[in-house]
Structure 1
Amino acid sequence: MKITVVRPGELGEQEITRWREIQKSSPALDNPFLSVDFTLAMGRLRDRVRVAVIEDGGAIAGFFPHERHAFGVGRPLGGFLVTCHGVVSTPELKIDARELLKACRLSVIDFDYLVAGQPTFAPYETDVRPAPLMDLGSGFEAYVEQVRAASPKNYKTVRYKERKLGREQGEVRFEWASADVSGLHTLLRWKSDQYQRTGRVDRFAQPWIVRLVEEMHACRSEDFAGVLTMLYAGDTPVAGHFGLRTAQTLVGWFPAYDPAYAPYSPGIMHHLHLAEHAAAAGLHQVDMGKGDREYKDWLKTGVVMVAEARVARPSPTAAVQWVGRVPLSRLRTTVVDDPRLFRAADRLLKTYGRAKSRLRPRFRSQRPTRTR
């Protein structure tokens, strides 16, 4: 077994081709956040990104994209920004996780969105739970029939609101894979405002994240692309989403809508149109990501298992990092699993967000300067 750690930009064509071959060979790896294209983009924007190239018997058997922070603290690629992490490897690869960390010069790494059951990290999994999917493998009509059968009242209400939106605000239309950069910036502005209203961390206050999304939006290939979708009433955008796709899977990333149209439920409306167009484009599923949201529970027709895990080598850094992270992680899990605590925490965050939103800078659509 040989492990070589490089920057993404140092990967050669042979390694890039091999990465794509390995990813395509396993359905569990069919997620755009595990694609070499995403890792290359992150490497262009962040100096701390590394890739462990794993060779077994002289042949490349896997890749482990990650971030190396100060004092040997590791983070999965993209950290809190993405919803899938793991080793991109052949099924038969067996490597000790601590030996992998040692080769990467890492003392500790925590995962919140790990591909469940990977041999390298399975012994360290601390929590495994389902993430909702929109299963489009049998086509849109089969999917929507499942949604309608599971909650006929909700489905009927959404379709009624769609007709009402069309009558009162203009004809409803949906745009799939829009190349409109101004539409993308409209969506990011909605999302930034949502983060601030609800007391969450505003991702788009960080220019490198805006730059990443812009670069992903410009990606167009059969196996990897950014997909911007927008729902309009007349000529007015009312809801949208930006995500990434492979040849078969679209991953939910940044959904948002204009709060002025909230009474029409444009977000749910948008997702039904999204499913229809995704199926027409040949996609088999829409991964909505781990998280308890009512709309996800209503729209899901399948699940994928996602794990939390922590791997540490004995060191002072790992001990200090445990104190700062693990108790908070356990508290978060307790809150999420208790509906009463979750509702109370959500209300508190929204109150905090309203109080501070006037003081925070808003997302600006001009192209940001590159930062590291």
Structure 2
Amino acid sequence: MDITVHRPGELTTADRLAWTAMQSKAHLHGSPELANPFLSPEFALAMGHCRRGVRIAVARQDGEPAAFFPFQRSATGVGRAIGLGVSDAQGLVHRPGYEWDAREMLRACGLAVWEFDHLVDGQRAFETGATGSFASPVIDIQDGYEAYLAHLRREAPKFVKSTFAKERRLLRAGGELRYVHDERDPRMLRTLMRWKSAQYRRTGRSDRFTQTWIIQLVERLFHTRTESFSGLLSVLYADDRPIAAHFGPRSERIICCWFPAYDPAFAKYSPGLLMHLRIAEAAAADGIAYIDLGRGQKQYKDSLKTREISVSEGWVMRRHPVAFGHRAHRAPVRALRNAVVERPELFEPADKLLKRIGEIRSGRSHM
């Protein structure tokens, strides 16, 4: 196996085209998850502009690219999935039938350990290091929006009835609704980030938009547009006032739900749900196969999903002191977080506590 390691900007045009071609044809070979936009060369290139240590390993067979493995590397040889913490799909993009040895790949990349938290299915060499697998709900729209709506009416009739009732009330109270599937106004992107920051604070979560590199990444992806990839900003307006928005990457076949938010003044109308239905309708018309709602328990995801795919977390290691030290440091944190998130009797009180903390931070406490 001939493996070379490059910075994102060092990839040749031919290599990038080969990478994109592997993603475009992945569904034809039974690996639709490899078409995820978080596994695209465009995402790797954007990450390379925003974070240090971003590298791409290119494996070749008979002189031709057989696989692309994007990762981040520290000076001590600790490796992480590219965009760990914000990317919802991780792994190695490869041509059909390609197999690799995990430790050999790590050795070629100069890594003692490689950590992941959204490893996609079909990565057998890396799955040996998985410590847990988790459901990631999706919305199937390959058969069209009407087929999806029929599924919702059959599986969740109360949800459909209440959502469209809220839409009618919103029309009476807020005026005409207008949906823009691909909004190009950067001011609206900044509005979305403000909404999302406020939501993080309101619910007691860590505000991702206090991190400069995440802001830079979102803005760079917003301006990235190729035939196979774009940063998609979708906005729902009521009487020309924005009430809900979403930003996330899209490939030829998949849209990833990344940063959805809404104006709290319209919360009683569930504008986020109305927006997601319009995203599904426009995406279906655009030839998208499915919308990946992302790992994590949320009531709105349960209401919208048609099925679930699986992602894994864990790490693959070489026998190296750095690897053992990294795992010893990270394993207890992950175990505690997953124990809380996956068990309702623990998650619900923890969630209420975080929201209470958020109220205090936002100055809305009546104490």
1:128 & 1:91 partners in 2: Cα distance? 24
Q: Report the TM-score when normalising by structure 2.
A: 0.94
Q: Root-mean-square deviation (CA), in Å?
A: 1.4
- Report how far residue 200 of structure 1 moved: 1.8
Query: What residue identity is the alignment partner of 1:329?
Result: R
Counterpart of 2:29 in structure 1 is: none
**Pick from 52, 55, 79: which aligns with 2:60?**
55
Contact between 1:9 and 1:44, CA under 8 Å: does it hold in 2?
Answer: no
Is residue 173 of structure 1 aligned with residue 178 of structure 2? yes
**Pick from 328, 331, 352: which aligns with 2:333?**
328
Query: What residue identity is the alignment partner of 1:347?
Result: K
**Pick from 214, 224, 232: which aligns with 1:209?**
214
Counterpart of 2:50 in structure 1 is: 45
Question: In structure 2, the residue corresponding to 1:85 is in which secondary structure?
Answer: coil
Paired residues for 1:313-352 under 5 Å: 313-352=318-357
For residues 60-100 of structure 1, the C-alpha deviation after alignment (integer angstroms, 9 at most, x for no partner) is 21111000124211110011011000001123222211111
Is residue 312 of structure 1 aligned with residue 330 of structure 2? no
1:326 & 1:117 partners in 2: Cα distance? 24
- Report how far residue 302 of structure 1 moved: 2.2
Contact between 2:196 and 2:261, CA under 8 Å: does it hold in 1?
Answer: yes
- Report how far residue 357 of structure 1 moved: 4.5
Counterpart of 1:103 in structure 2 is: 108
2:112 & 2:154 partners in 1: Cα distance? 50
Question: In structure 2, the residue corresponding to 1:54 is in which secondary structure?
Answer: strand
Contact between 1:116 and 1:306, CA under 8 Å: does it hold in 2?
Answer: yes
Question: In structure 2, the residue corresponding to 1:120 is in which secondary structure?
Answer: helix
Is residue 145 of structure 1 aligned with residue 150 of structure 2? yes
Contact between 2:135 and 2:296, CA under 8 Å: does it hold in 1?
Answer: no
- Corresponding pairs, count: 358
2:223 & 2:100 partners in 1: Cα distance? 36
Counterpart of 1:9 in structure 2 is: 9
Q: Report the TM-score when normalising by structure 1.
A: 0.93
**Pick from 111, 119, 133: which aligns with 1:114?**
119
1:334 & 1:305 partners in 2: Cα distance? 18
Structure 1 window deviating more from structure 2 (251-260 vs 57-66): it is 57-66
- Report how far residue 58 of structure 1 moved: 2.7
Query: What residue identity is the alignment partner of 1:160?
Result: A
**Percent of aligned positions that are identical:** 47
2:191 & 2:332 partners in 1: Cα distance? 38
1:308 & 1:155 partners in 2: Cα distance? 34
Contact between 1:162 and 1:172, CA under 8 Å: does it hold in 2?
Answer: no
Query: What residue identity is the alignment partner of 2:264?
Result: P
Question: In structure 1, the residue corresponding to 2:76 is in which secondary structure?
Answer: helix
For residues 240-265 of structure 1, the C-alpha deviation after alignment (integer angstroms, 9 at most, x for no partner) is 10011111111111000111111111
Query: What residue identity is the alignment partner of 1:109?
Result: W
Is residue 261 of structure 1 aligned with residue 253 of structure 2? no
Contact between 1:3 and 1:53, CA under 8 Å: does it hold in 2?
Answer: yes
Query: What residue identity is the alignment partner of 1:81?
Result: V
Counterpart of 2:253 in structure 1 is: 248
Question: In structure 1, the residue corresponding to 2:319 is in which secondary structure?
Answer: coil
Query: What residue identity is the alignment partner of 1:136?
Result: I
Counterpart of 1:86 in structure 2 is: 91
2:180 & 2:63 partners in 1: Cα distance? 47
Contact between 1:125 and 1:308, CA under 8 Å: does it hold in 2?
Answer: yes
- Report how far residue 356 of structure 1 moved: 3.3
Question: In structure 2, the residue corresponding to 1:134 is in which secondary structure?
Answer: strand
Question: In structure 2, the residue corresponding to 1:51 is in which secondary structure?
Answer: strand
For residues 304-326 of structure 1, the C-alpha deviation after alignment (integer angstroms, 9 at most, x for no partner) is 22112311112222222122211
Is residue 276 of structure 1 aligned with residue 289 of structure 2? no
Question: In structure 1, the residue corresponding to 2:60 is in which secondary structure?
Answer: strand
1:158 & 1:99 partners in 2: Cα distance? 52
2:18 & 2:263 partners in 1: Cα distance? 43
Question: In structure 2, the residue corresponding to 1:292 is in which secondary structure?
Answer: coil
Query: What residue identity is the alignment partner of 2:11?
Result: L
- Report how far residue 35 of structure 1 moved: 0.7
1:171 & 1:280 partners in 2: Cα distance? 22
1:122 & 1:251 partners in 2: Cα distance? 22
5+ long unaligned stretches in structure 2: 27-31
For residues 200-239 of structure 1, the C-alpha deviation after alignment (integer angstroms, 9 at most, x for no partner) is 2211112222122112112223310111111111121111
Paired residues for 1:191-206 under 5 Å: 191-206=196-211
